[in-house]
Amino acid sequence: MSFLSRKFTLNSLRLLSSCNLNQATTKRFKTYQVVIVGGGSAGISMASKLKYDKDHLAIIEPSNVHYYQPLFTLVGAGVYNLNDSMVMRPTEKVMPKTANWIQSRVNQLKPDTNEIILDDGTQVNYNYMIVASGIELDFERIKGFPSAFEYENICSNYSSNLVERTWNNIKNFKGGNAIFTFPNTPIKCAGAPQKIAYLADDYFRKSGVRDKTNIIFNSALAGIFAVPKYAAVLNELLKKRGIQTNFRHNLVEVIPDQNEAVFENLDTNEKIIQKYDFIHITPPQKPADFLKPIADQSGFVDVNKETLQHKKYSNIFAIGDCSNLPTSKTAAAVAAQSNVLHNNLLKIMGVEEAENLKYDGYTSCPLVTSTSTCILAEFDYNLNPKETLPYDQGRELKSTYFLKKSVLPFIYWNLMLKGKWNGPNEIRKILRFDFPITRLIKKIISFRIRFKEPRK
């Protein structure tokens, strides 16, 4: 079955489910102390932190498969396979045993009465709700979709159905225009659209087709990166690699039978048509429709940016991509947010030992620049670098690539999803202390950086 057929089948099933919901009598579930909407990285992490049982804690999550999506970039570059255990595992294997897994989709939220209505009409009640529903891909906002999926030279690392096409296109590329896009909406992992352009450039050089290739990065943003320190490094990298950038260019249409992409200049409203031999699309993205009763004007859950508590409903919290927190939507941000949310939730529950923590907007983006180098961007709400390691992370380093490829996936599966990872804040504190063991660690790291890394 093709991707397009699967999509139409899924839409048909959702339509039937919606019709049945209108006809069915609402069924009632018991009231849970805490209900978590979404079983991705944020939802699983929060469930693991809460010391409840299946009678008091529930997670609503429809998917059978759980992906570590930060590795999709490396799947698209041929470093990992999609079915690798570092990339995906069955949801049942990562779901905390202490949580009741309700495998369904949410149809409606009723925050005034503490009710959640599922697709089949079931009503789930809660005393407290954590919203961790992520963000949805919205390819259909681009004219020409979904029929454009039938053309193999259109790919995207953002979809598990399309990510392996990226590697097929890169390894079989013989030259021409390779276009990479960034949309005019919030997206998860805002560094990913440029990472795959760097990885494609790296492979094209190795395969001997780079001199016959135009790599074009068209972004709706005004620049390559929001943090000035890393933007300066990346701009130099783009210049050195000969990658063409067009900012304030938003993809609005694909004409696949003519291999044409139509971009709108967001400053002039001019339409620009570009030919492509393959195109990597970062799709527009949106919050789930059912969030509207608790959302701001943008559609994302309206929470206090320091406490993650809803601004109107005190028994509702949000974490990760579904929230309106003004920071990048990354797994690293979720890790830092999880401890803040956990402590603040316990605080309003009246647990005496709970701390009153504030989230400072910390997030991280490992900017992979080749299959051996990476820049590790870490920053806060104010776009100030908040680096963990005792060296300049704004450099292309092999050690940082190893961190991205091997260390972070291990942390994700073995610590974060088990509620034992709150980000690198404690590591940062330790490395800032002037203890003998700390000095030794710093010397070892500095020695490896000095003698193992290529000079830039």
Q: Catalytic residues, which ones?
A: 189, 365
Q: Which of 412, 415, 414, 441 has its CA nearest to residue 428?
A: 441
Question: Which tokens hold the place of 245?
Answer: 């950038």
Interatomic CA distance for residues 36 and 196, integer angstroms? 33
The strand pairing partners of 279, in sequence order, are 154, 179
What is the Cα–Cα distance from 77 to 400, expressed in whole angstroms? 17
If we measure between CA atoms, which residue out of 8, 70, 46 comes closest to residue 412?
70
Q: What DSSP string runs through 386-434?
A: ---SSS-SSS-BHHHHHIIIIIHHHHHHHTGGGT----SHHHHHHHHS-
Residue 320: CA count within 13 A, CB half-sphere? 24
Q: What are phi and psi of 187, to 5 degrees?
A: -140, 160
Are β-strands 57-60 and 249-255 bridged in parallel, bridged antiparallel, or unpaired? unpaired
Handedness of CA 159, 164, 166, 169 (dihedral sign): negative
